[in-house]
A and B are shown apart, each in its own frame.
Chain A
Amino acid sequence: MPTVSVKRDLLFRALGRTYTDEEFDELCFEFGLELDEITSEKEIISKEQGDERAEGASDVILYKIDVPANRYDLLCLEGLVRGLQVFKERIKAPRYKRIKPNNGQIQRLIIMEETAEVRPYAVAAVLRNIKFSRARYDSFIELQEKLHQNICRRRALVAIGTHDLDTISGPFTYTAKPPSDIKFRALTQTKEHTACELMDLYKTDNHLKHFLHIIENKPLYPVIYDSNGVVLSMPPIINGDHSKITLKTRNVFIECTGTDLTKAKIVLDVIVTMFSEYCEKQFTVEAAEVIYPDGKSYTYPELAYRKEMVKADLINKQIGISETPANLAKLLTRMYLKSEVIGDGNQIEIEIPPTRADIIHACDIVEDAAIAYGYNNIQMTIPKTYTIANQLPLNKLTELLRHDLAAAGFTEALTFALCSQEDIADKLGMDISATKAVHIANPKTAEFQVARTTLLPGLLKTIAANRKMPLPLKLFEISDIVLKDSSRGSAFFPGRCAEVFVKGQSVGKLGVLHPDVITKFELTMPCSALEISVEPFL
């Protein structure tokens, strides 16, 4: 779940009132947010780097708020405030409008076919006559960062570039070139570098190094130029320094490139709906045109309003309430979904704004009605569903066996299903290829290399970790093992082991463990074991 950090006092000023921490926590709970932490920059630095480093840092109170992973419209102060104010019916949800530029000169972004192999999609828009302040600017940057981390999947699906439009001139070209052919001054750099040099440079950059893999091994890197050959950005890694936005920037050109067009459109919509609040004509966004290699042209941002029709009955039935259609429409409107009763009086027409990309089905609308109604105001009832319970035969037998094994003096161990190759092979005197083990592709440590093929190593490791306990140690475990198909090796001492047959079927083995096995598990005492499969007894 993404966490948004906002300055408490700024938040309260924007909400037009103050809250106690408890009151605000309660409001969050009701709305589906979580006030995760109350802290300050000073406290954060002091926690992470010690009191000395925190000296002089800001002690302005910060609220860290957990936001549901699909609510991209709540990832910044502007969106949170708008959502909460509409919820509390203090404002009406603003209507976002896409407009043509005054001079009729629409900004164009031309996509070249070279991008197809690396990052084929792009969308763009302009925020005209915007006014930044320090707080607004920080929030603008922070929102991009949050979007990059979440819906953009760490820039793999979508990367955002924002530019001071007055420093560049369109039309813009989105193309892909060999890295050695790309040369520009990247953000915060003092001189020009080729793309190869930049990739080297960023290998040690704690922030950027995580994104390099996205294009690193591609023959061509994506790059956006203006009509004078100025590099706007090399997505998804870095923007050019030339077009960087500052507090003085009045016109912002936004481009989002990616491998997922749907998400690129959502990301663009979120950024412009949030920050068009600070444009001279509030909540308007200047359109940009994107031309694809096939010559087709599209206008962005989409800022699409979609209408859905849902029956009031359905909402009531799925929640378990009985509100009038008019009331339901009112509840939905509080959730930023402008709704009205139409037709026969049972139909509700809901308008899904461009900020609510999470609404993809009527069930999403039902949930919002339930949230506005208040989950904790819903009458609890027990379903009338009549069913006869059955235990899973395997688990039923397991429970019986566990109790009798404990009654027979054995203690139950609970060991991991993942272990090292060594545990199930070398240490048991077997070759790994003979184990029919299932192998993990991405283990972080050797302890997670394979799924166990026998319970024995776990039990022996338990004994090894409990060598201080009085002897005898008598352990058992009944749990799953994983085999590609049936096979069993022998960890037993020759002449001191036997195969167990039940009604003519082999179910496992028992015997004294081989001294080599005992030694490899760092044990010194003789050890005997029985391992059988429970399934044949079902």
Chain B
Amino acid sequence: MADGPVAQLLLQRLEGGDGGLDSLELASALGLEHQVVVGAVKSLQALGEVIEAELRSTQRWELTPEGQETAQDGSHEARVFHSLPPEGLVQSELMKLPSGKVGFSKAMSNKWIRVDKNVPGGPRVFRAVDSVEDLVQAKLQLVQDGEAERLSEKERNELKKRKLLSEVTLKTYWVSKGSAFSTSISKQEAELSPEMISSGSWRDVKFKAYNFSAKGVIPEGGHLHPLMKVRTQFRQIFLEMGFTEMPTDNFIESSFWNFDALFQPQQHPARDQHDTFFLKDPAEALDFPMDYLQRVKLTHSQGGYGSQGYKYDWKLEEARKNLLRTHTTAASARALYRLAQQKPFSPAKYFSIDRVFRNETLDATHLAEFHQIEGVVADYGLTLGHLMGILKEFFTKLGITNVRFKPAYNPYTEPSMEIFSYHQGLKKWVEVGNSGVFRPEMLLPMGLPEGVSVIAWGLSLERPTMIKYGISNIRELVGHKVNLQMVYDSPLCRLDT
């Protein structure tokens, strides 16, 4: 007994017949779906040389759903013609009929109907002939009866253009006896069972070969979001490099920690309503380390610590304004301030990966919320060369080995460097991150000892994720509108391969 009754029937027919048979004909003879017969052919093919099957494709004309309707009820133009009473119909009324629009223009060009524009109540449509012959319907009925070949190619193409007919390609098999043909094929086992193991029968049974082109069954289970998978990898990299995670569990921040502490002047464009979400309620932060705040104020307005300062009127009201943090550097500032309060100073390596907010124009690569990745090292005697060295190691762990550095400007780092990596696909250098040495005007007011340098770098989490998972629109990655299938299907994340 072969796999299933259909395969068995197929073998019997082959044995009795001469030469071969067509899978479609067999299907209609057996009253089965063609796909069922194809399945049987494929399962017999998998057994080896039992049968030979030759794939044939034939073209066939079929009615579209609209074509079927036309074959039954007549063409739109005929339906329009028949719906006209002897006294005619107002054109606007006619257009409301289901066949109105298409039928009207066709019937006009067939000269079946005419329009009289000079009647009270608006243009009116009348029959122009007594009776019509609906050739379109007749032709479609021919196709329906399997006599499409009686239509000329021109006629068929016209109907195809009207989307009444479509040409379908049908794949069938011509099946004939193979060199090892037999109607009695021993059953092949698909699975190794516990009984086979205990009885030892596995020694004698034949096992069905795997069908490697089968899709397989996806195991049911939960799935992690790809952006979070990438986040996990970045955390791992920082931990491997000895970096401690900073607390970032406060989306709300004061302008003071988000900007002023970073020596970002109060007139800086980033502090504009157009770029930052400010809070209406609670609008202001009240609690600051006042002696530190005083030092920040002086550094901005008058300079100090070797700096000229920005020489402007620094306002506490501006620093009090609450906002949704625009960068995780606000959290880094808090961490560095805490570090500065520890005496004696001990070196630190920090990192964070968390959400930030920008009130900007949204597009395919920008959302109002995104994640930032940030690394910070504080120690005596750190150099620009150290920053580059650590960045090289970091990016190597991401699988990016070819990096170079471009001078840049950031308000709170000096020197500043943008990190570029050579993109093989785009054949050009693309920016992959931003970095720098925090300005002394930021560090010294915190109370960090002179001589301690703090190097830092940052990048977005979304961009590497989009590159890794081949997603070009950020809206397909983040937010409630994403297709969960994307989450289900996203493979595991290995950044260094």
Contacts and interface: CB of A to CB of B under 8 A. Distances in A.
A71 B247 contact: no
B242 A411 contact: no
Contacts of B400: none
Contacts of B246: 392
Interface string A361-397: 1111011001100011011111101111111101100
A45 interface: no
B243 interface: yes
18 contacts: A29-B406, A263-B312, A361-B306, A363-B415, A376-B404, A385-B377, A392-B246, A392-B248, A395-B245, A406-B222, A409-B221, A409-B222, A411-B484, A414-B225, A414-B477, A417-B369, A440-B324, A464-B480
Interface string A390-410: 111011000100110111111
Contacts of B404: 375-376
A440 B368 CA distance: 13
Contacts of A379: 385
Contacts of B245: 389-392, 395
B34 interface: no
Nearest to B481: A465
A408 B108 CA distance: 66
Interface stretch (B50-58, B165-173, B209-217, B274-282): B274-282
A417 B251 contact: yes
Interface residues of A, number: 88
A29 B222 CA distance: 46
A442 B359 contact: yes
A409 B224 CA distance: 10
A533 B383 CA distance: 43
A375 B385 CA distance: 9
Nearest to A451: B251
Interface stretch (A105-113, A161-169, A279-287, A312-320): A312-320
Interface string A174-210: 0000000000000000000000000000000000000
Given A34-B406, A399-B232, A394 B249 contact: yes
A387 B242 contact: yes
B230 to A, nearest CB: 11
Contacts of B309: 360
Interface string A26-48: 00010110100000000000000
Interface stretch (A236-244, A343-351, A466-474, A495-503): A466-474
Given A320-B383, A383-B382, A469-B485, A406 B280 contact: no
Interface string B417-448: 10000000000010000000101110000000
Nearest to A71: B409
Interface in B300-316: 303, 305-312
Interface of A: 1, 29, 31-32, 34, 68-71, 153, 157, 260, 262-263, 317-321, 360-364, 366-367, 370-371, 375-376, 378-383, 385-392, 394-395, 399, 402-403, 405-418, 438-444, 448, 451, 458-459, 461-462, 464-466, 469, 473-476, 479-480, 482, 484
A387 B415 contact: no
Contact of B243 (A371, A389, A482): A389
Contact of B368 (A31, A448, A466, A473): A448
Contacts of A414: 225, 227-228, 477-479, 482
Interface stretch (B181-189, B289-297, B386-394): B386-394
Nearest to B431: A34
B414 A413 contact: no
Most buried by A among B251, B349, B385, B440: B385
Contacts of A474: 222
Nearest to A369: B415
B198 interface: no
B347 interface: yes
A32 B408 contact: yes
A387 B375 CA distance: 14
B42 interface: no
A382 B393 contact: yes
B441 A462 contact: no
A451 to B, nearest CB: 6
A387 B349 CA distance: 7
A361 B484 contact: no
Contact of A482 (B252, B273, B369): B252
A441 B283 contact: yes
Contacts of B383: 317-320, 381
A198 to B, nearest CB: 25
B347 A370 contact: no
Contacts of A473: 484
A375 B483 contact: no
Given A414-B227, A418-B357, A442-B277, A406 B221 contact: yes
A482 B273 CA distance: 21
B82 interface: no
Given A321-B385, A370-B415, 10 more contacts: A34-B406, A391-B244, A391-B245, A403-B224, A417-B251, A440-B278, A451-B252, A466-B484, A474-B222, A484-B281
